[in-house]
Amino acid sequence: MPEVPRFDGLRRLLRSFALRTSLGIAAAALLLSLIGAGWGWIRAETALYQELDLLLAGEAEGLIRDYQAIGPEALLDAARVSVRRDALLLILVQTADGQTLAGRIDTAPAALRGYATLRGSGEPPLRALGALLPGGINLVVAAPIAAVEDAARALAWTPLVAACGAGIVALLLGFVGARALERRLASVSDVAGLLTAGDLSRRLPQSGRRDEFDRLVMTVNAMLAKLEMLVTAQRQVTDDIAHDLRGPLQRLRQGLEEALADRTDDPALTVAISELDAVLETFSALLRIARAEAGAVTRRSLDLSALVTSVAEAYGPVADETDRPFTTDIAPGLTIDGDPALLGRMLANLLDNALSHGAGAISVSLQAGPVLTVADEGPGVPMAERDAVLKRFVRLDRSRASPGTGLGLALVKAAAQAHGGSVTLGSAWPDGRGLAVTVDWRVAA
């Protein structure tokens, strides 16, 4: 049995459509969040600056009213207090040409007019408002902007963090959904494998949730039921015809044998009996194919190596009589669950085909897998006709003059598929000579 890769299930899961969709959604959410975070940062910073500007304007208006009511001393006192108390609101009083009268703002330029953002080495950034008052007084009001920038960053990070959380949730949901979809599709794949093997009575399982998958399963199951009915009817017709005709033909053969006993010198009777035996064998082959395709096989654990050895030993003397070299390479101890009679008939058909239509040496190989190969050195089968010869009653033009019905390889294919295997035709030699028929059960194993 081949070793199953340890991470094969994980690889299938990573290739899952549901997980890929979740990854795409998570990536899109992160991308949009990055764009939104940048836009939000700019908008938040602008709005907070506007609020700070309104605050500075309000404070400046209050100081100007005090100046108008009391005089310059009101501004000077306020500026001195802002320095002593290290207040959040800084006040600087200057002359019109920029000389400091009271207060301290190291980064303020001389005679500031209007709004400005003040930044200096080693100094915290400030937002400032300068105004020239009557009497040659220049008033500068400032406040730190560190809180504004921190708030803008916090607001910008909020959607990004939320998107990361949403992306993680999307990945988890995608992983769970992919696992559930994988389990559901695995059950469908198992049933499909049984259907391919010929068990048309199998149906796809339903979850009971009545979702779109269940509706699809119901439609497919109805189709399978119809297909089973048609195939069963077709096989029944073939089976009935074969059964109904075998009886009269066997009685006819018995009558011919009785006639031949009284007329031993009549060659026509001998030819008729031979032709009748060929017809009876055709019906027997059709019945075996119909049963194999219907999956009507008796399965039990059997020693495939011993079975192949037994059949090969029976055909060895036949090959010797025709001066055909006959070799075997059979690995011991290989087993399979199957019908020994059907598998024996399958190998017999392969050897009959090699003896009747092949040439040169015949080889039988059974290796681990198990993999059975019967090869000869004859003309082989053209590549374009290799699929066709596995069908019923198909024969190559060069073989029409030789005995046969065109059912041998069809039975091989039906028997192999009934046991979960596959049949391939190839060349026995790299240069294209010969025919090698391989029955591979590794998929079933």
Per-residue pLDDT of 189-247, as tens digits, reads: 888 877 776 677 788 888 787 888 888 888 988 998 888 888 777 767 766 776 677 77
| The pLDDT value given to residue 325 | 93
Least confident interval from 155-169, 313-327, 337-351, 419-433: 155-169
pLDDT of 8 above 60: no
Q: Is the entire prediction scored with pTM above 0.75?
A: no
Residue 443 vs residue 297, higher pLDDT: 297
Query: Exposed, middle or buried, 275 (CB in 10 Å: 0-12/13-18/19+)?
Result: exposed
Full domain range(s) for residue 241: 212-292
- 44 and 78 together in one domain: yes
**What confidence category does residue 402 fall into, taking pLDDT thresholds of 50, 70 and 90?**
low
pLDDT of 1 above 50: no
Task: Identify whether 123 is part of a domain.
Answer: yes
373 contacts 388 by C-beta, under 8 angstroms: no
| The pLDDT value given to residue 326 | 93
| The pLDDT value given to residue 374 | 94
Angle ∠(305,420,392) on CA atoms, nearest 5: 100
pLDDT of 368 above 80: yes
Task: Identify whether 341 is part of a domain.
Answer: yes
Task: Identify whether 203 is part of a domain.
Answer: no
Digit-coded pLDDT (tens) for 245-258: 777 877 887 877 77
- 99 and 217 together in one domain: no
| The pLDDT value given to residue 52 | 85
Strand arrangement, sheet containing 435-440: 326-330, 362-367, 371-376, 435-440, 422-426
Residue 115 vs residue 6, higher pLDDT: 115
- 237 and 189 together in one domain: no
| The pLDDT value given to residue 436 | 93
pLDDT of 276 above 60: yes
CATH number at residue 148: 3.30.450.20
Counting the structural domains of the chain, the total is 3
- 327 and 434 together in one domain: yes
Domain boundary among 161, 196, 231: 196
269 contacts 256 by C-beta, under 8 angstroms: yes
Q: Please provide residue 300's backbone torsions phi and psi, each rounded to the nearest 5 degrees.
A: -155, 160
Task: Identify whether 216 is part of a domain.
Answer: yes
376 contacts 428 by C-beta, under 8 angstroms: yes
| The pLDDT value given to residue 373 | 95
Task: Identify whether 202 is part of a domain.
Answer: no
- 104 and 221 together in one domain: no
What's the one-letter identity of residue 236? Q
Percent of the chain with pLDDT over 90: 14
| The pLDDT value given to residue 404 | 63
N-to-C CA span, the chain: 6
Distance from chain centroid for Cα 261: 69
- 327 and 357 together in one domain: yes
Least confident interval from 150-159, 183-192, 321-330, 364-373: 150-159
CATH number at residue 245: 1.10.287.130
425 contacts 389 by C-beta, under 8 angstroms: yes
Average the pLDDT over 17-35 and give the result: 73
374 contacts 436 by C-beta, under 8 angstroms: yes
- 287 and 313 together in one domain: no
- 3-state SS record for 139-153: EEEEEECHHHHHHHH
- 312 and 272 together in one domain: no
Domain boundary among 292, 326, 358: 292
Task: Identify whether 207 is part of a domain.
Answer: no
Taking the C-alpha atoms of residue 57 and residue 158, their distance in angstroms, rounded to an integer, is 30
Dihedral sign for Cα atoms in the order 22, 23, 29, 33? positive
| The pLDDT value given to residue 433 | 80
The interaxial angle of helices 340-357 and 304-321, nearest 10 deg, is 30
- 127 and 264 together in one domain: no
**What confidence category does residue 308 fall into, taking pLDDT thresholds of 50, 70 and 90?**
very high
Domain boundary among 236, 264, 292: 292
Average the pLDDT over 137-154 and give the result: 83
Digit-coded pLDDT (tens) for 313-329: 999 999 999 899 999 99
- 77 and 164 together in one domain: yes
- 281 and 417 together in one domain: no
Residue 13 vs residue 93, higher pLDDT: 93
Taking the C-alpha atoms of residue 205 and residue 213, their distance in angstroms, rounded to an integer, is 10
Taking the C-alpha atoms of residue 254 and residue 258, their distance in angstroms, rounded to an integer, is 6
CATH number at residue 317: 3.30.565.10
* For the ranges 11-15, 50-54, 288-292, 364-368, the one whose mean pLDDT is highest: 364-368
Task: Identify whether 445 is part of a domain.
Answer: no
108 contacts 138 by C-beta, under 8 angstroms: no
**Nearest one of 340, 328, 377, 381 to 355, comparing CA atoms:** 377
- 170 and 223 together in one domain: no
Task: Identify whether 205 is part of a domain.
Answer: no
Kindly report the average pLDDT of the chain as a whole number: 80
Average the pLDDT over 367-382 and give the result: 90
